[in-house]
Amino acid sequence: MSHITLIRHGQANSQAKDEASYDRLSPLGHQQAAWLGEHLQATHQRHLRLYTGTLRRHRETALGMATGLEPVEDARLNELEYFTLAAALRDEHGVPIPTEQAHFTKHLPRVFAAWQDGILKGAPESFESFETRVQAALTDIAAGEGPALVVTSGGLISMTMRQHLGLSVEAMANVALAIMNTSIHRLHPIGGTWSPVMFNAVPHLESPDRHHAQTHV
């Protein structure tokens, strides 16, 4: 067993209203990915394997990091479909989709709770299915040789933290809201189990001239 480093993709299209239009990096997202790759190289962080989801923003982030590794794409590492879930909550239960960031922080826990409760008929997959595929993907990656980089999304990272820290669905939603673009999250095998030893680290964005790039959306 070796450690797994999860990376959230760079900033995507924050003005999007649906899954398809969200799925591309912004100019800042491309820059964040390049800075992260430079940081990994400068600090001599050695990874033997690179995995991504199949989404465009995952592939663009991995390419921008320029690790020299050939990425292995795995659809199990794809993000949950927030826009689709939010539309189902609106259409089926009358909960409006927020238009301001302040309202979004209250909205996401409601979406996750309704999804977990199984009351969203329009959900593209069940909460249990998402939970199962995340666990299965990381279990398979963990079985490989050498440290692995995994470029994925915030929802998947928050589910990983839920699984390894026993978080409630509300806490999982709050974790998802906190995760920054191109942030680093690391799991180490300790005592026969996987333990989170790093969460939401952005050392490549810590200098004062890069604080503007510490984005959540």
Domain edges within the chain: 1-77+147-154+178-204
Q: Which residues of the chain have pLDDT under 70?
A: 1
In this prediction, residue 102 carries a pLDDT of 78
In this prediction, residue 153 carries a pLDDT of 98
Q: Which of 130, 89, 122, 123 minimizes the C-alpha distance to 106?
A: 89
Q: Which of 114, 109, 124, 117 minimizes the C-alpha distance to 89?
A: 114
Q: Would the pTM of this model clear 0.85, i.e. be above it?
A: yes
Torsion of Cα atoms, 188 then 179 then 16 then 35, to 10°: -70
How many other C-beta atoms can be found within 10 angstroms of the C-beta atom of residue 161? 22
In this prediction, residue 1 carries a pLDDT of 55
Amino acid letter for position 57: R
How many other C-beta atoms can be found within 10 angstroms of the C-beta atom of residue 54? 12
Q: Phi, psi at residue 125, to the nearest 5°?
A: -155, 155
Classify domain 1-77+147-154+178-204 at the CATH topology level.
Rossmann fold (3.40.50)
The C-alpha atoms of residue 129 and residue 134 are separated, in whole angstroms, by 9
Question: Tokens 């709050």 sit at which residue?
Answer: 174
User: Two tokens at 188?
Assistant: 């180490």
